Amino acid sequence: MDLEKLYEKYNTLIDAKSKVSEHIQDYADAIDGTQGGEKEKKLSTQIISKFFKHFPSLQNKALDAILDLCEDDDCMIRICAMKALPTMCKDSPEYISKIVYMLAQMLQLEDQEYNAVSSSLKLIYKDFSQDVIKSLFLFIQNSTDVSLREKCVTFILKTLLTTPVNGNKGEIEDTIIEESKNY
């Protein structure tokens, strides 16, 4: 799918307003756009995240497409995909664990990409702190990469504990203590 057709799909979805969910084929085409070139991948990522909540039947496919872009060869596409993930969590919290697990794997990245991973995790953590902590500790428990496990623990202690949340900080600290016992 070329860029011009993707823009047409985007405009159709925007113009549909409250009837956006009736345009399932346009959304499916946007998901397929993640197989295109650099510009198509970036626009597809924006379309997917913006309209994610309106197409429950395509959410698994859409999420898988974004997660695939998190492993793209192009650094800027990976960053764009990482930035889309918090919106998808906010719209559909049932995917938090899967998304946090993927982002945890990317904590080993450096520079701009690490900043994008960190920022995405903090945004999700702000609204879903308990779920993020539990998912990160599950990742730590299942990971065989000692270095990555250490980076996750360090991230929790140095970054997440200093990040403002929309919840009870005491409960979060209790969750960290409980989850740490399993580690």
pLDDT tens by residue, 137-146? 999 999 999 9
Which pTM was predicted?
0.93
Instruction: Quote the mean pLDDT of the chain.
Output: 94
Between the alpha carbon of residue 35 and those of residues 16, 28, 43, 52, 57, the distances in Å are 25, 12, 11, 18, 20
Distance CA(169)–CA(146), nearest Å, equals 28
pLDDT in tens, 96-126: 999 999 999 999 999 999 999 999 999 999 9
Percent of the chain with pLDDT over 90: 85
What number is the average pLDDT over the span 38-50? 98
Q: Quote the tokens at residue 142.
A: 């299942």
Percent of the chain with pLDDT over 70: 99
Say which range, 34-43, 127-136, 161-170, has the weakest mean pLDDT.
161-170
Q: How many Cα neighbours within 13 Å face the side chain of 160?
A: 30
Q: What is the reported pLDDT for 183?
A: 67
91 or 116, which is more confident: 116
Q: Quote the tokens at residue 54.
A: 């309106």
pLDDT in tens, 2-32: 999 999 999 999 999 999 999 999 999 999 9
Residue 183 CB neighbour total at 10 angstroms: 10
Question: In 3D, which of 173, 87, 85 has the Cα closest to residue 129?
Answer: 173
Q: What is the reported pLDDT for 168?
A: 81
- Alpha-carbon torsion, ordered 179, 127, 80, 102, to 10 deg: 20
39 or 1, which is more confident: 39
What number is the average pLDDT over the span 61-67? 98
DSSP H helices in the chain: 3-16, 24-32, 38-51, 59-69, 75-91, 96-105, 111-127, 129-142, 146-158, 169-182
Sign, CA torsion 97/103/107/111: negative
Distance CA(139)–CA(102), nearest Å, equals 9
Distance CA(50)–CA(179), nearest Å, equals 33
- State yes or no: pLDDT of 59 exceeds 90: yes
Domain boundaries, the chain: 1-90, 92-183
Question: In 3D, which of 63, 73, 46, 75 has the Cα closest to residue 100?
Answer: 63
